[in-house]
C-alpha cells in the first residue's frame, strides 16, 4: 500500500468513526425521548392538533320603537362530516347510508341521493375529517337534518357536525339603512358602529381540533367559557313614519332630479329621532334616457354633511340681534331689494319686482329678506362684530349635537374676529347663512330648542338595551342646556316662525300648509352651493320647523340639494316633504287630538276638508255643527277654505267645454267630473288631487288622457 493509499484509509476511518458516534448519539437521544420525555412531547404534539379557541357570540338585534326588526343576525349552517371520529359505528353507518342520502336529497337538495351516498363513501375511504355535506342551511333545515337516522346519534358517535355562522340582515332594506348601519370586520357605520360594544357581546372559548387543510373544528359541543350574546338595541325610529319620510323625500328628489336629500323628525321634549331618511342619487343624473334617477341610502347627510345653511341660519342671526337689544318692531329699509355691502351686491328674492321697501325685523324674517337681515346685524353689531360671534356661540350653533352616532361633522362658525377667512364682508354674509357650515341635524337642534322653551336636548337614536327580552338599560332624554336666550327673545322667535307658515300671512311658506288642520312654525332656506369656481347657479333648499305651533311636539328639517328641474326655493322643494310627513304624524298621533265633548266647532282647530260636491260638504258641516260661510251663491261644486273657527265655502266653477280644475278634490269627485267630460284618467298616489297634467281651462277637444297626482 502506498503512502497515498494509507493516507486516504486513515481519513476514511476517522470519518466513519465520527459518523458512528453521531449515529449512536441520535439513537441514544431517541431512546431517551421515548422513555424519559415521552409525556412531555406527547402534550406538546397535542397542542398542535388541539387548542382552546375563541367563539363568537350572537350579535344583538336592532329594533324600531314599535317593535319592527331593523337588523338581525340570522344563523346559517354548514353540515360537515368527520369520517374518522372515534365513536363511529361503521356497520350502523352502512345500514343507515341509504336513508341518510335520501334525507340529504330531500332537505338540502342540490344533489340526488345517489350522489350524496357516493360522496360519503369517498370521504370515508380518503379519511376526510371535514367533508362538506351542505352549506347555507337555514335553522329549520338544521333542525330537520338533526333528526335523520345516524345523525341523531350525536356528533361524537356519528361524526356529523353543524358549523354555525351568523348572517346580518336588514328586513326593511333601504329604510333607515344608513342610520342602522353596516356590520363588518372594519369600517362599520351607523348604529352598528356606534353601539358595537353593546351589540357584539363577549367571546367564549371552546376546545377545537385541527382537521386536514388547517381547518379547526369543535372537539366537543361544550364550551370552556360560554359566549355571552350581545344586547338587543331598541332604537327611537318609528318605521311607519320612517316609511312616509323616505317615500316623500324620494318622490321629491326624483321629481327634481336632485343630488341628495335628508329628512329628520324629532320629538321636541325628548330629542328622540322618530324618522331619519338620507337618499343620494346614484350616478350623475345625466342622460337618463327618460328613466327616473335612482336613489339609495349610501351616506348619512343629516349628521355627516356640513354645508352653508343659507336662510335657515337667519333664526340664529336674529336671535343674537334680539339678545343684543334690537327691537322686533325695528324698521329696516330694504329699498328695491338690491344693496351693496363692502363692494358685494346682495339681493332679495323679489328684487326684480321692486323689493320689499320698509320692513320690520319680524317681517324681514317672515319674507326671508337678505337685505333686512344684513341691515339688522349691521345695526346691532357693526361697531363690535365680536359680540355677534359671541352671541352665536352662546346659542350653541358652533357645537356638535352630541348624538351617539359615528361621523357627526364639526360645524364651522368663527369664534374670533380675524380668524380664518374673516373679512369686512363676513358679518353680513354670516347674517344670511354663508361663511358658516352646519349639518342638518345641528340646524334642527336650534329650531327644536326654540320649540322647547330654550331647552337644548341631545338627539337620541336609542331608547334602551334588552337582554333576553328584558330591559337591561334605559336611556332617558338628556338636557344639554336649560336655556339659550331670554324668554322675550324666544317668544319673538316663535311668533316670527309662525308668521313664515301662516296661510293668511305673507311668509315664504304661507301656501304650503293652507289645507293643514294644524299650525306650523318654521323657516325656509334657499342657499347657493359653493363649487370649485365659486357659486355657480346650483341651489340647496331647506325647511326647518315644528308643529303644532301652539304646543310643539315634533320638530323637523328637510334639506334637498342641487335640483336640476329649475325649481329651487325651500318652500316649493323642501316644504312639501315636511308637510306630507307632518300630515301623517298629525293623522296617526292620538296625543295631537285631545278628546273633547260636543261638536267640531268647539275644538281648538277645525279639521281640513277636501273640495267637492256642495251637498255633501254642507250635509257634513250641518251634522257636525261646523260654522260655514257661503261667500256667494253656490253651484253643485264648492271649494272649502278652513279657518280657525269657521269654513269659507266658495263656488268651484266647472266649465262645460274645458278641462275642470280638480286640484283639492278627492279622487271620487275628480273622477266624476273628468270622466263625465270624456277624459281618460290615470292616477298616482292616494288622497287629495295635488296636480293634474292638463292645465285647467284647456279646451276638451285638445285633451284625451289626464294624469292626476294625489297626496
Q: How is the chain split into domains, by residue range?
A: 3-36, 53-177+199-233, 241-590, 600-710
**How far is 523 from 313, CA to CA, in rounded Å?**
9
- Tell me the pLDDT tens digit for each residue of 561-574: 999 888 888 889 99
- Tell me the pLDDT tens digit for each residue of 644-670: 677 878 888 888 778 888 888 888 788
First to last CA, the chain: 119
Q: What fold characterizes domain 241-590?
A: Beta-lactamase (3.40.710)
- The pLDDT score that the predictor gives to residue 437 is 96
pTM confidence score: 0.72
- The pLDDT score that the predictor gives to residue 37 is 63
Is-contact 404 462, C-beta < 8 A? yes
Alpha-carbon distances of 487 from 269, 490, 493, rounded to whole Å: 17, 5, 10
Q: Encode 430-493 in three state secondary structure.
A: HHCCCCCEECHHHHHHHHHHHHCCCCEECCECEEEEEECCEEEEECCCCEEECCCCCHHHHHHH
**How far is 570 from 311, CA to CA, in rounded Å?**
9
Peptide bond into 548 cis (omega under 30): yes
336 SS3 class: coil
228 SS3 class: strand
Ordered mean pLDDT values, 10 residues apiece, the chain (711 residues): 66 76 76 64 55 76 91 87 87 91 91 92 89 88 90 88 85 88 80 92 74 63 75 94 94 94 98 97 80 92 96 97 95 95 92 94 96 96 96 95 94 94 95 96 98 97 93 96 95 97 93 92 92 78 96 97 88 94 90 63 59 79 79 75 76 82 83 80 80 82 80 69
52 SS3 class: strand
- The pLDDT score that the predictor gives to residue 47 is 47
Is-contact 304 287, C-beta < 8 A? no
Grid coordinates standing for 544? 326647518
- The pLDDT score that the predictor gives to residue 600 is 47
User: Could you tell me which residues come within 8 angstroms of residue 327 by beta carbon, excluding any fewer than 6 positions away?
Assistant: 361
- The pLDDT score that the predictor gives to residue 288 is 72
Alpha-carbon distances of 267 from 260, 273, 459, 460, rounded to whole Å: 24, 6, 9, 10
Beta bridge partners of 62: 71, 233
- The pLDDT score that the predictor gives to residue 447 is 98
- Residue 276 parent element (H or E): strand 273-281
Task: Output b/e per residue, 520-537; b: 16+ Cβ within 10 A.
Answer: bbbbbbbbbbeeeeeeee
What are the two backbone dihedrals, phi and then psi, of residue 232, each rounded to the nearest 5 degrees?
Answer: -80, 145
Alpha-carbon distances of 608 from 306, 443, 515, 517, 612, rounded to whole Å: 38, 30, 6, 5, 13
Strands (E), 337-416: 338-341, 344-347, 358-360
Query: What CATH number labels 53-177+199-233?
Result: 3.90.1310
Amino acid at each position: 500500500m502506498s503512502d497515498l493509499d494509507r493516507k486516504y484509509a486513515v481519513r476514511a476511518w476517522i470519518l466513519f468513526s465520527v459518523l458512528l458516534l453521531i449515529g449512536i448519539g441520535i439513537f441514544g437521544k431517541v431512546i431517551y425521548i421515548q422513555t424519559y420525555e415521552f409525556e412531555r412531547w406527547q402534550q406538546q404534539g397535542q397542542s398542535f392538533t388541539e387548542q382552546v379557541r375563541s367563539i363568537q357570540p350572537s350579535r344583538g338585534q336592532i329594533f324600531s320603537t314599535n317593535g319592527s326588526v331593523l337588523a338581525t343576525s340570522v344563523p346559517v349552517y354548514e353540515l360537515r362530516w368527520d369520517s374518522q371520529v372515534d365513536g363511529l359505528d361503521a356497520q350502523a353507518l352502512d345500514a343507515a347510508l341509504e336513508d341518510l342520502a335520501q334525507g340529504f336529497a330531500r332537505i338540502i337538495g342540490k344533489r340526488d341521493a345517489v350522489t350524496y351516498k357516493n360522496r360519503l363513501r369517498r370521504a370515508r375511504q380518503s379519511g376526510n375529517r371535514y367533508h362538506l355535506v351542505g352549506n347555507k342551511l337555514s335553522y329549520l333545515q338544521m333542525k330537520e337534518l338533526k333528526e335523520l337516522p345516524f345523525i341523531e346519534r350525536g356528533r361524537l358517535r356519528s361524526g356529523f357536525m353543524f358549523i354555525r355562522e351568523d348572517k346580518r340582515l336588514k328586513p326593511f332594506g333601504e329604510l333607515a339603512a344608513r342610520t342602522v348601519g353596516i356590520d363588518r370586520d372594519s369600517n362599520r357605520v351607523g348604529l352598528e358602529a356606534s353601539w358595537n360594544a353593546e351589540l357584539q357581546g363577549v367571546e367564549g372559548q371552546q376546545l377545537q381540533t385541527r382537521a386536514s387543510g388547517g381547518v379547526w373544528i369543535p372537539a366537543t359541543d361544550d364550551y370552556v367559557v360560554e359566549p355571552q350574546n350581545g344586547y338587543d338595541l331598541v332604537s327611537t325610529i318609528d318605521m311607519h313614519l320612517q316609511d312616509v319620510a323616505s317615500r316623500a323625500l324620494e318622490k321629491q328628489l326624483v321629481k327634481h332630479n336632485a343630488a341628495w336629500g335628508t329628512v329628520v323628525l324629532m320629538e321636541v321634549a325628548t330629542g328622540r329621532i322618530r324618522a331619519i331618511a338620507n337618499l343620494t342619487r346614484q350616478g350623475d343624473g345625466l342622460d337618463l334616457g327618460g328613466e327616473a334617477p335612482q336613489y339609495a341610502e349610501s351616506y348619512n347627510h343629516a349628521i355627516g354633511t356640513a354645508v352653508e345653511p343659507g336662510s335657515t341660519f337667519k333664526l340664529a342671526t336674529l336671535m343674537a340681534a334680539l339678545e343684543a337689544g334690537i327691537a322686533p318692531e325695528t324698521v329696516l329699509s330694504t329699498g328695491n331689494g338690491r344693496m351693496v355691502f363692502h363692494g358685494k351686491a346682495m339681493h332679495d328674492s323679489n328684487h326684480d319686482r321692486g323689493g320689499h321697501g320698509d320692513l320690520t325685523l319680524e317681517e324681514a324674517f317672515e319674507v326671508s329678506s337678505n337685505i333686512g337681515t344684513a341691515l339688522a346685524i349691521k345695526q346691532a353689531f357693526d361697531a363690535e362684530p365680536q359680540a355677534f360671534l359671541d352671541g352665536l356661540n352662546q346659542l350653541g350653533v358652533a357645537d356638535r349635537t352630541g348624538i351617539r352616532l359615528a361621523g357627526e361633522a364639526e360645524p364651522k362658525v368663527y369664534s374670533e374676529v380675524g380668524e380664518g377667512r374673516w373679512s369686512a364682508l363676513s358679518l353680513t354674509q354670516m347674517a344670511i347663512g354663508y361663511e358658516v357650515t352646519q349639518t342638518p341635524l345641528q340646524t334642527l337642534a336650534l329650531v327644536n330648542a326654540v320649540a322647547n322653551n330654550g331647552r337644548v336636548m341631545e338627539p337620541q337614536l336609542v331608547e334602551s338595551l334588552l337582554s333576553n327580552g328584558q330591559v337591561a338599560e334605559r336611556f332617558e332624554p338628556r338636557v344639554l342646556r336649560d336655556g339659550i336666550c331670554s324668554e322675550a327673545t324666544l317668544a319673538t322667535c316663535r311668533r316670527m316662525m309662525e308668521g313664515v307658515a301662516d296661510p293668511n300671512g305673507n311668509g315664504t311658506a304661507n301656501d304650503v300648509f293652507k289645507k293643514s288642520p294644524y299650525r306650523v312654525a318654521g323657516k325656509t332656506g334657499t342657499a347657493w352651493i359653493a363649487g370649485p369656481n365659486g357659486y355657480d347657479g346650483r341651489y340647496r333648499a331647506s325647511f326647518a320647523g315644528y308643529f303644532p305651533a301652539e304646543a310643539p311636539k315634533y320638530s323637523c328639517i328637510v334639506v334637498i340639494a342641487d335640483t336640476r328641474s329649475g325649481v329651487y326655493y325651500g318652500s316649493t322643494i323642501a316644504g312639501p316633504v315636511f308637510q306630507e310627513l307632518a300630515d301623517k304624524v298629525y293623522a296617526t298621533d292620538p296625543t295631537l287630538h285631545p278628546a273633547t265633548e260636543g261638536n267640531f266647532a268647539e275644538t281648538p282647530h277645525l279639521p281640513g276638508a277636501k273640495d267637492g260636491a256642495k251637498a255633501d260638504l254642507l250635509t257634513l258641516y250641518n251634522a257636525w255643527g261646523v260654522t260655514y260661510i257661503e261667500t256667494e251663491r253656490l253651484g253643485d261644486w264648492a271649494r272649502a277654505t278652513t279657518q280657525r273657527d269657521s269654513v269659507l265655502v266658495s263656488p268651484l266653477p266647472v266649465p262645460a267645454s274645458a278641462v275642470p280644475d280638480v286640484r283639492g278634490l278627492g279622487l271620487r269627485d275628480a273622477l266624476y267630473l273628468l270622466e263625465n267630460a270624456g277624459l281618460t284618467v290615470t292616477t298616482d298616489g292616494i288622497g287629495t288631487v295635488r296636480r293634474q297634467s292638463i292645465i285647467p281651462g284647456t279646451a276638451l277637444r285638445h285633451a284625451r288622457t289626464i294624469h292626476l297626482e294625489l297626496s
